[in-house]
Chain A
Amino acid sequence: MAKKTLNIIESAYRAVMEEQDDTILWLLAAMQGAGAEHTVVLRGNAVNYAVAGQGAPGLTIGGWKQTQAPHMDNDVIDLIERRKIPVFVIKEDLAARGIERGELVPGVQLLSARMLPKHMAEYELVSHW
């Protein structure tokens, strides 16, 4: 049985266009494939990853065209539905950014910042990204 790991992710939109992924969501998905048991809490600006309908068009620089531009909302859905990684979003951080519950992709669970300490107790490992 893999160690239950909570991953608190706050880094947002860092290198996502160049990497065509969020590097931590990607890492956790890959580790889950190797047998890990991860859970994600999105906080800070990273709560925006759960907003449905996002994604910039691929970059074009001179004759170079990006064909696989990332869509973070799809990656969150992938974590939940395909990788079976639960994804929580800190509701106070949504409110601070003016994001309504109805704007989020399905399957995301809300968590109050006040409950995060208690939530952390349920995991053997906690990493902060």
Chain B
Amino acid sequence: MSQKTFAIALMDPPYESENLTTAFRILDVMAQRGHNINLFAYEGAAGLAFAKQTPHPNPVHGKNVAEENHPTTKDQVTALLALAAKNGGKVDWVNCGMCVDERGVGEFVADTRRGSPADFHSFCEASDNVLAIPTK
């Protein structure tokens, strides 16, 4: 399969919806296959790449930080970018600027950037296909 370019919109914030688990699984497949991914992180999803997320222990189950190894979406984003690069795909991960501002999540992991709806429009125009994953 030749390299494709996909535009994806995400809306869910971290830790609130199984939509993100499924979304990252789909993105992982795209990255494994070396496709280009243009992702617009809108609304709550603007927090997915927030660099100041920190994992925590699990006192209910008696696990310390290391034992719990709690997922952070920022690490998933970083891993996704690395996987895509390894397979020849480019990821343009755009955090909607106003969404970032109102949530105070203006520090992102490396190789993600601030943007706007104009970016999502450009992504849709430039892509082979589009998948919008709405929130409920």
CA distance in complex: A34, B116 (Å): 10
Q: Are B136 and A11 in contact (CB under 8 A)?
A: yes
CB distance from A77 to the nearest CB of B (A): 20
A116 within 8 A of B: no
Given A11-B135, A125-B130; A36-B116 close (CB under 8 Å): no
Number of interface residues of B (CB under 8 A): 17
CB distance from B129 to the nearest CB of A (A): 8
Within B109-136, the residues touching A (CB, 8 Å) are 116-118, 120-122, 124-125, 130, 132, 134-136
* A-side contacts of B130, CB under 8 Å: 125, 127
Of B117, B125, B132, the residue contacting A30 (CB under 8 A) is B117
Of A2, A14, A15, A34, the residue contacting B117 (CB under 8 A) is A34
Q: Are B120 and A31 in contact (CB under 8 A)?
A: yes
Number of interface residues of A (CB under 8 A): 19
Given A2-B125, A3-B125; A27-B134 close (CB under 8 Å): no
Q: Which of A5, A14, A27, A33 has most chain B Cβ within 10 Å?
A: A27
Q: Are A23 and B42 in contact (CB under 8 A)?
A: yes
Bitwise interface map of B from 62 to 84 toward A, beta carbon under 8 Å scored 1, else 0? 00000000000000000000000
Within A86-101, the residues touching B (CB, 8 Å) are none
5 closest A-B pairs by beta carbon, nearest first, are A30-B117, A34-B118, A127-B132, A31-B121, A34-B121
